[in-house]
Amino acid sequence: MSNYFEQLLERRLPVMPTTNCHDVYEIFMREPDALCIPVVDGMEVLGLVNRQDFLLRYTYQLGPDLYGKRPITQLMDSNPLVVDRGMAFEDLGNRIVKVRAGGLLGGFVVTEDGRYFGVGTALSLLRLMLDVSERRSDALEIERQRVEQANRSKTEFLASMSHELRTPLNAIIGFTDFMMSEPFGPVQPARYGEYVVDVNRSANHLLGLINELLDMAKIEAGKMELCEEEFPAPQPVDEALQILKQSISDAGLKLKVDLADADVHLFADQKMAVQVMLNLLSNAIKFTPGGGTITVRSVQTDDGFDVTVADTGIGIPPDHLERILQPFEQVETAMSRTKPGTGLGLPLAKAMIEAHGGRMSIASSLGKGTQITIHVPNARVVRAAPPQCPQSTAA
């Protein structure tokens, strides 16, 4: 039994098919809030009398003389919209619209197990829809507050855990860096030196993952802040390539670089710009087999500034192009994954670019490579003024 029908229904007393039109007219006059009256034989619904339609016909010129003593079956709608009391609220609206849209204005009959139960009208349905809408709005607001609280708790937890984890990690990285520099002579036996290198590499990898998780938590919580300044456009690419130069060499990859003139400047968060380039280049290195090529190029366009990182790697399946921009999604499946990572690199780069009012696009062909382009809007592009020549003084 549907509870919402208790609010929807008007328990209007029906009339018999033999009731004459004059008596129905009197009912409408006595009950100004009656919008429709059902016609029922026993408990079987025969029709429905709509107030507006009935009064228009009955009161027009010779209406009372023609219909006054005739049975109401002469002026009723013999094919009204009939709905079952057990129908879901969502299905009721669909049925009214699809089966008989006029049923909303003319009213409709509600039955239970095929027997007359009551009537519904546009007014009662509107009241019910407003009530349902308010309850759903309240439920959504409660859910929104719950999600916001969960996000705040998650951010606070990640911030706390990041601090707790980064403190010992920084100590591990610092001591292993010191040991790798061998200030007191070679580490003996040599195998211990290899272990120190492995520990240092693992600690740096773990620190990078923690930083990515914390950055993503800040972005999702809307707490990412930009520290904006003006800098040469090629600078973030140069810094990222300097950091990853050894990784590119170790992977056996060729590098091609074609950057815009240094007199083009950007007004943005420089640290964030370097991070974006590191993420894009690291992704290209990770998924490009040895002997492949990574190409980095930048160009000033009519509507801004573009930087493209292209590789000749494994590529991305078409149905994965949208997924890989979602946090924790990766090109490979969990069962076949051969490359380490959290799947946060590209989503973080996309979020950082969008925080600057830009956008990121991906084009890829499976087995042939991937091309990722970031676009910075014109509002953040600055053309540096040419150096002024010193003025000569007249002798």
Q: Mind listing the pLDDT tens digit for each residue in 264-274?
A: 899 999 999 99
Q: Which residues pair with 297 in a beta bridge?
A: 258, 308
The most distant pair of C-alpha atoms in the chain lies apart, rounded to whole Å, by 123
Strand-pairing partners, residue 15, are 39
| pLDDT band (50, 70, 90) for residue 309 | very high
- Nearest to residue 298, comparing CAs of 375, 369, 200? 375
Is the per-residue pLDDT at 333 higher than 50? no
Distance CA 371, CA 290 (A): 18
Query: Once rounded to an integer, what is the mean pLDDT over residues 115-124?
Result: 79
Buried b (16+ CB within 10 A) or exposed e, 234-258: bbbbbbbbeebeeebeebebebeee
Nearest to 303 by CA among 381, 191, 234: 381
Whether pLDDT at 392 is above 60: no
- Measure Cα distances from 187 to 173, 175, 252 in Å: 17, 13, 29
- Tell me if residue 301 falls in helix, strand or coil: strand
User: Which range has the worst mean pLDDT, 103-107, 146-150, 368-372?
Assistant: 103-107
Q: Which two tokens stand for residue 93?
A: 């609206």
Determine how many CB atoms are found less than 10 A away from the CB of residue 357: 14
In this prediction, residue 97 carries a pLDDT of: 66
Q: Within the chain, where are the H helices?
A: 4-8, 21-30, 51-58, 63-67, 89-99, 103-106, 122-180, 190-220, 235-250, 270-286, 345-355
pLDDT digits (tens, 9 = 90+) for 338-371: 455 556 788 889 989 998 999 999 998 888 899 9
CB distance 358 to 374 below 8 Å: yes
Give the number of residues written for the chain.
395
Predicted local confidence at residue 266, as pLDDT: 93
Is this prediction's pTM over 0.95?
Answer: no
Query: Across the beta sheet with 82-84, what order do the strands follow?
Result: 82-84, 108-112, 115-120
Structure confidence at residue 252 as a pLDDT band (50, 70, 90): very high
Rg (CA), the chain: 37
CA–CA distance, 268 with 108 (Å, rounded to integer): 62
